[in-house]
Amino acid sequence: MRVARGAGWLDALRAAAAERTDRGLRRELRPRPPADPVVDLAGNDYLGLACHSEVVAAAAGALHEYGLGATGSRLVRGCTEIHAELEHELARWLGVEAVLGYSSGYLANLGAVRAVAGALPGTLVVSDAHNHASLVDGCRMAVKDGATLRVVPHAAPDAVEAALAAHGGPAVVVTESVYSVDGDLAPLGDLHTVARAHGAVLLVDDAHATGLLGPAGAGAVAAAGLTGEPDVVVTATLSKSFGAAGGVVAGPGALHRHLVDTSRTFIYDTGLPPAVAAGALAALALIRAGDPMRAEVRARARAAVGRLRAAGLSVPEPAAGVISVAAPGPDEAVAWAAACRGRGVAVGCFRPPSTPDGRSRLRLTVNTGIALDDFAKALDVIIAERP
């Protein structure tokens, strides 16, 4: 057999893939059909807005007016009036001076962490051990730029305080609000108190709380009374409760200016498709008026936790729409999720090394777009298939 010169890299990839298979770490894509019969407790469409008629109509209208793509980066031709209106409305809703939209939450987090950590030389980045990969990658980029990183135990303001005190210079504390894996809420008030005492910035990824917590769904930062504070930066994604796509950085106007001028994940990236921005704008209107939807998320989460606990499962108190169910181990978690899938229920499955604490669990999400009856039956399946 003739082996092409330079094919060694493919052999290396194949060997690494075989090793991942041996360790049970393969990941699979599962394309879903339009009218998917699966009950989806794995996605993040908490308020069922991805398929809401007003959201879809707004997106379809913009699709006809602007076409499919943004056609360029935001600073070239990729900024439409819809993008500007969306950012303006988001800023009003979040009570901040300015919002900058990115094409994903991931890119927004890279941009935000890097910008804040790079503002002053000698900055310390204090990052919660459970932070999302996009924040972790933002921290890594900040380190490459010259910042120092300290990863602290999860939800531990004392550890943050100790890190800030030991450093004594400029710093940014990086945290999620509602944690994406376990659904618990970070102690935002305490973190802000500690950060402020040391002159540090608090950067909060509100991805799993926007739309769900706070007045008019403005998120956990708003619920904690930190709206518009000059030392607080909020990032969020439009890919969860908005049912859309795109990320935002919300905060002081000077940060916005800095990001527009310098943020690489903003500048060198094609803008969000205008149709998606229009759908997100329609979703925002529904979210603002969405107290009944939020009450429904809370009621479903409470009922689900009650049923799962009554069945003897270990479930921490959810802060919003993420419900974490402990599994005995990684193999059991994988088998459990597969058994649910086999019975038409999609659930998330987390196990080491994707979990920061070595524990395995199923991750369920509340989606008010799912019929109550289907939601209840899905819980039956999860309970029946427990390892």
Ligand X SMILES: Cc1ncc(COP(=O)(O)O)c(C=O)c1O
Binding site for ligand X (CB under 6 A): 104-106, 109, 132, 134, 176, 180, 205, 207-208, 237, 239, 247
Contact between residue 139 and residue 114 where contact means Cβ atoms under 8 Å apart: no
* Distance, CA of 351 to CA of 166 (rounded, Å): 34
Instruction: Give least dist CB 178 to ligand X, A.
Output: 8
Nearer Cβ to ligand X, position 198 or 361? Answer: 361
Instruction: Give least dist CB 183 to ligand X, A.
Output: 11
Nearer Cβ to ligand X, position 74 or 132? Answer: 132
Nearer Cβ to ligand X, position 123 or 180? Answer: 180
Instruction: Give least dist CB 134 to ligand X, A.
Output: 5
* Distance, CA of 185 to CA of 175 (rounded, Å): 10
Nearer Cβ to ligand X, position 41 or 381? Answer: 41
Whole-number Cα distances in Å, 386 to 48, 144, 181, 303, 312: 27, 44, 19, 18, 10
Nearer Cβ to ligand X, position 78 or 138? Answer: 138
* Distance, CA of 328 to CA of 281 (rounded, Å): 42
Instruction: Give least dist CB 206 to ligand X, A.
Output: 9
* Distance, CA of 381 to CA of 344 (rounded, Å): 9
Which residue's Cβ has the minimum distance to ligand X?
Answer: 105
* The one-letter amino acid at 43: G
Instruction: Give least dist CB 104 to ligand X, A.
Output: 3
Q: 190 burial class (0-12, 13-18, 19+ CB within 10 angstroms)? A: middle
Nearer Cβ to ligand X, position 104 or 368? Answer: 104
Instruction: Give least dist CB 168 to ligand X, A.
Output: 30
Instruction: Give least dist CB 238 to ligand X, A.
Output: 7
Whole-number Cα distances in Å, 364 to 44, 57, 140, 337: 9, 29, 29, 10
Nearer Cβ to ligand X, position 40 or 205? Answer: 205
Instruction: Give least dist CB 367 to ligand X, A.
Output: 15
DSSP letter at 156 equals -
Nearer Cβ to ligand X, position 46 or 106? Answer: 106
Contact between residue 156 and residue 173 where contact means Cβ atoms under 8 Å apart: no
Q: Strand pairing partners for 174?
A: 127, 203
Whole-number Cα distances in Å, 33 to 37, 71, 117, 243, 341: 9, 28, 43, 18, 15
